[in-house]
Amino acid sequence: MGRAFFKLDTVTISNSSQVNPILWKDNQVFLIDQTRLPGEYQLVEINSSQDMAKAIRTMIVRGAPAIGVSAAYGLYLGATEIEDTDRAAFLLKLEKIAQLLRETRPTAVNLFWAISLMLKVAHQTIGGVEEIKKALLVQAKNIQKEDIETCLAIGEHGLAALPKTPTKLTILTHCNTGALATAGYGTALGVIRSAWNAGRLERVFADETRPRLQGAKLTVWECVQDKIPVTLITDSMAAHCMKQGMIQAVIVGADRIAANGDAANKIGTYGLSVISKRHNVPFYVAAPLSTVDFSLDTGSSIPIEEREDSEIYQIGETRISPTEGVNYYNPAFDVTPAELITAIITEKAAVKPDELVKLSY
């Protein structure tokens, strides 16, 4: 995995919704290294399926839709690594690379969705291995392009679904769901962008999102680039802010949604939904239909990723808890029950969770 070094001060980014988190250029993928933002803006050069698997596992690229797009390019890169010209042998090796990519992260269903779309194309393409490789690149580019269109549509439907009063809303969000977590524009942060552009946003409250701090590092960075007024709070401050009447809506993303509307999202989301209910604050989940896993009846079967202890006992390089005598538990996601969700905002429509199945494609 090569790194192309650019510092923030040498790269002009006028609008983060135009940031290209995944760039296909010169037969390789350039990813913005999200583990280094906001301090450093660096592009990482990915030119093999192994590198892409590593980039997803280590969260250089993260966010459900962005992981899906990256995995699609990763599978194409893998296809170009296969030397067999025999179709059956090629497809067998392609399946092994698909498996390598599937094993990177378990919760975001967009990863599995994108890989199965790619494999479908491989199997359905008539002709030899070269034709399949070409078709795979076309499909990866399509997944990327459609994700941006999808995010824009989510933004429109979300804007229409927001409470009508007050005219200008203060919206709380959790984790990062912006351009960086998608192919561009964002899901929940996309709705917030649309609200800002329509003059319906007073301010965003961004949860810091322990332990990986996607809110503090990425959401706030995106808002600053776009000049969207943003206030950063720690996760534990959200209930107090709601009690004070400071928040009129909560919008979060999702990594996997079950058919009944139960939604897995970044750890801390479930708690937010409970306190939103307590304070009568509408709670929206914004996600593309590629995040809905219609094969799961409820959220209890969504696999929840557990990550390394060091994410809890360290902040940066600094150890913050005793070295001995402590156990750690670090689930990266939790599941918000459908009954606590006001509406799920997709690219087709904003619907009540129990109407989600109507949008099944």
Q: Which residues of 333-361 are buried (b: 16+ CB within 10 A; e: fewer)?
A: bbbbbbebbbbbbbbebbbebeebeeeee
Q: What string marks each residue from 314 to 333 as x (binds ligand MRU by CB under 6 A) or -?
A: ------------------x-
Spatial neighbors of 316 by CB under 8 A, at least 6 apart, are none
Q: How far is the CB of 253 from ligand MRU (least distance, A)?
A: 3
Q: How far is CA 331 from CA 51, 264, 265, 306, in A?
A: 25, 11, 11, 4
175 contacts 252 by C-beta, under 8 angstroms: yes
- Does 254 interact with ligand MRU (rule: CB under 6 A)? yes
Site for ligand MRU in 192-251 (CB under 6 A): 214
User: In this complex, which beta carbon is closest to ligand MRU, that of residue 114 or of residue 122?
Assistant: 114
Residue (49 or 177) nearer to ligand MRU, CB: 177
* Per-residue CA distances from 34 to 22, 179, 290, 336, 344 (Å): 11, 11, 23, 26, 27
Nearer residue to ligand MRU within complex by CB, 62 or 200: 62
Distance CA 35, CA 61 (A): 8
What's the min distance (Å) between Cβ of 155 and ligand MRU? 13
Q: Contact letters (x/-) for ligand MRU, 257-296, by CB under 6 A?
A: --------xx------------------------------
Give the Cα separation of 201 and 314 in Å (integer). 35
Judged by CB under 6 A, the residue of 147, 226, 255, 262 near ligand MRU is 255
Binding mask 52-81 for ligand MRU (x = CB under 6 A): ----------xxxx----------------
As a whole number of angstroms, the distance between CA 303 and CA 332 comes to 11
Rounded Cα distance, 27 and 46, in Å: 9
Q: Binding residue for ligand MRU (CB under 6 A) from 19, 132, 135, 252?
A: 252
Q: How far is the CB of 219 from ligand MRU (least distance, A)?
A: 9
Does a cis peptide bond (omega within 30 degrees of 0) precede residue 229? no
Size of the site for ligand MRU (CB under 6 A): 17
The verdict on whether 354 is a catalytic residue reads no
- Report in angstroms how near the CB of residue 350 gets to ligand MRU at its nearest: 17
Catalytic option among 255, 262, 293, 334: 255
Beta-bridge partners for 206: 173, 232
Query: Does residue 353 belong to the site contacting ligand MRU (CB under 6 A)?
Result: no
Q: What residues does 207 pair with on adjacent strands? A: 233
3-state secondary structure of 125: coil
> Parallel, antiparallel, or unpaired for β 318-319 and 314-315?
antiparallel
Q: What is the smallest separation between the CB atom of 322 and ligand MRU, expressed in angstroms?
A: 27
Chain positions contacting ligand MRU, by CB under 6 A = 62-65, 175-177, 181, 187, 214, 252-255, 265-266, 332
Q: Would you please indicate which residues are annotated as catalytic (active-site) residues?
A: 255
